């Protein structure tokens, strides 16, 4: 096993301070709860919140993050353009990005994936999450389907670019359906959007939901052993180019 994967879990962390129902489920915040269930030897997990200095992602944190997990809902527009652009550039350069629930409307997903995120939405009802891609790494350990007794309806049409891979489809007792687990490749980075995770229901307590997020982190992480140095987004050629031999000074 190589070096640990640096994971940063970013959360608006505002609902948990103002809404009693959310506070009861996640007293230290959704991000802290996710950290507590994801922690393992292979992951080095950092927490970040919108109201932290530099909106939780100063350059040294962002630039050392291998996989960024993003939970956001009501304050997408408080995230600065500058930060959203930096995150986009990091993903294009290889950082993994996991977008949870209402991050479908985040500046980050709009900039990285290229989408409005418009969808049909409604009440909290029973959802059946169907695993339609059982050999995909993100679906490891997940049965054919599992049930969330209450989840917010996110229904089609979902205004997204065609996903590279669909891993999960959600069906609601109202009859709505949704592409609940989608992957995209953007630049050198891997992106996963996962729909379950409304703040006022205990979705993140579900062991399959936890497993999916953990699987996605390992799937999205860059190898950590890239064979050449990237500088300003491009392979760095430091030395003299020798056409029929090794490139001198093409140092790692």
Residues found near Zn ion in the complex (CB under 5 A): 102, 152, 198
Smallest gap from Cβ 200 to Zn ion, in A, equals 8
C-beta of residue 12 within 8 angstroms of C-beta of residue 49: yes
Measuring CA to CA, which residue among 74, 71, 77, 53 is closest to residue 11? 71
Nearest residue by C-beta to Zn ion?
A: 198
Main-chain dihedrals φ then ψ at residue 118, nearest 5 degrees:
-60, 145
C-beta of residue 76 within 8 angstroms of C-beta of residue 52: no
Compare residues 72 and 95 and give the one whose CB is closer to Zn ion.
Answer: 72
Smallest gap from Cβ 22 to Zn ion, in A, equals 10
Smallest gap from Cβ 101 to Zn ion, in A, equals 6
89 CB-near residues (< 8 Å, 6+ apart): 233
Q: Nearest 5°: CA angle at 201, between 130 and 16? A: 135
Smallest gap from Cβ 103 to Zn ion, in A, equals 10
| Residue found by looking up tokens 């230290």 in the block | 28
Smallest gap from Cβ 199 to Zn ion, in A, equals 6
Compare residues 104 and 136 and give the one whose CB is closer to Zn ion.
Answer: 104
Is the C-alpha dihedral spanning 103, 107, 110, 112 positive or negative? Answer: negative
Compare residues 14 and 198 and give the one whose CB is closer to Zn ion.
Answer: 198
Smallest gap from Cβ 166 to Zn ion, in A, equals 21
Compare residues 12 and 152 and give the one whose CB is closer to Zn ion.
Answer: 152
Burial 215-240 (b: 16+ CB within 10 A, else e): bbbbbbbbeeeeeeeeeeeeeeeeee
Compare residues 90 and 198 and give the one whose CB is closer to Zn ion.
Answer: 198
| Residue found by looking up tokens 């953007």 in the block | 186
- Distance of alpha carbon 135 from alpha carbon 127, whole angstroms: 22
Compare residues 70 and 219 and give the one whose CB is closer to Zn ion.
Answer: 70
């Amino acid at each position: 096993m190589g070096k640990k994967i640096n994971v940063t879990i970013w959360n608006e962390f505002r609902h948990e301070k103002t809404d009693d129902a959310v506070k009861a489920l996640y007293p230290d915040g959704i991000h802290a709860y996710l950290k507590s269930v994801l922690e393992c030897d292979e992951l080095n997990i950092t927490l970040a919140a919108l109201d932290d200095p530099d909106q939780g992602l100063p350059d040294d944190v962002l630039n050392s993050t291998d996989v960024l997990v993003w939970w956001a809902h009501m304050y997408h527009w408080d995230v600065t353009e500058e930060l959203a652009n930096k995150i986009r550039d990091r993903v294009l350069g290889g950082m993994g990005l996991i977008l949870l629930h209402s991050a479908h409307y985040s500046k980050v997903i709009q900039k990285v994936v290229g989408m409005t995120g418009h969808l049909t939405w409604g009440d909290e009802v029973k959802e059946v999450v169907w695993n339609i891609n059982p050999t995909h790494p993100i679906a490891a350990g997940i049965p054919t389907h599992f049930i969330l007794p209450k989840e917010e309806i996110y229904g089609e049409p979902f205004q997204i670019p065609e996903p590279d891979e669909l891993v999960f489809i959600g069906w609601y007792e109202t009859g709505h359906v949704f592409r609940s687990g989608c992957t995209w490749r953007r630049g050198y980075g891997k992106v996963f959007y996962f729909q379950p995770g409304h703040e006022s229901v205990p979705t993140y307590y579900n062991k399959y939901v936890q497993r999916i997020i953990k699987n996605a982190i390992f799937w999205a992480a860059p190898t950590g052993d890239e064979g050449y140095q990237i500088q300003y987004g491009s392979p760095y050629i430091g030395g003299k180019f020798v056409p029929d031999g090794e490139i001198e000074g093409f140092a790692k």
